[in-house]
Amino acid sequence: MTTLSIASWNVNSVRLRAVPLIAPFVAACQPDVLCLQEIKCQSHEFPEKAFREMGYEHFHVRGQKGMHGVAIASKYPLQDLGDEAICPREEARHQRVGVQGIELHNFYIPAGGDEPDIEINPRFAHKMDFLACTRDYFAARDTRNEKIVILGDFNIAPREHDVWSHKQLLKVVSHTPGEVEALNAILAAGDFIDVAREVIPGPEKICAWWSYRAKD
């Protein structure tokens, strides 16, 4: 069986971090496919040269001026499967490619701001709308015999042991019951499994994200 290693990383500006941070990571871990979020550049500004020097020859980039943006760099050819109109605001937050027989979706789901209330916080409403659109997209498909991987920055920690303090974060954006329910609905719609938790089940904690609201 051919193995395929895929890495996902919210890089918060690919042009700033390609050489000093991404290149050392690639040298150490050698992922076949690297999925990036929040690249913060337009498609034509993506630093292909730096990634070619890391060993990547194939690219699919959905950039946006000033913010957002997603990109995939691969050692294997990428088939453009057409990006879906999932984001209600038509921001560059999703892309879809085929690689080595897998349909790969790279997501950058909105963070949602500070207040978990759709009535007073438009950013949270946008997040919940995005999640609902993603659920509806996969619910409309029959994915039972498909090889699909979804990954990216989901901005949701769904399980009790995915966060440092479940009780203290229940009313904090990224761990609220409504967001968790919305993410679980996506997983159910596509018949997906949480790969990380298949390998490392709870109650062991997995720390893959930290809040931009906290110092350091």
pLDDT (tens digit, 9 = 90+) per residue, 170-185?
A: 999 999 999 999 999 9
Q: How far apart are CA 13 and CA 66, in angstroms?
A: 9
Burial 93-117 (b: 16+ CB within 10 A, else e): bbbbbbbbeebbbbbbbbbbbeebe
- Ranges under pLDDT 50 in the chain: 1
Q: Could you state, in order of their start, the residue ranges of all structural domains in the chain?
A: 1-76, 109-209
pLDDT at position 212 is: 66
Structure token digits, residue 93: 């937050």
pLDDT at position 45 is: 97
CATH superfamily, domain 109-209, is: Endonuclease/exonuclease/phosphatase (3.60.10.10)
Kindly report, residue by residue over 72-82, the tens digit of the pLDDT: 999 999 999 98
Predicted TM-score of the model (pTM): 0.94
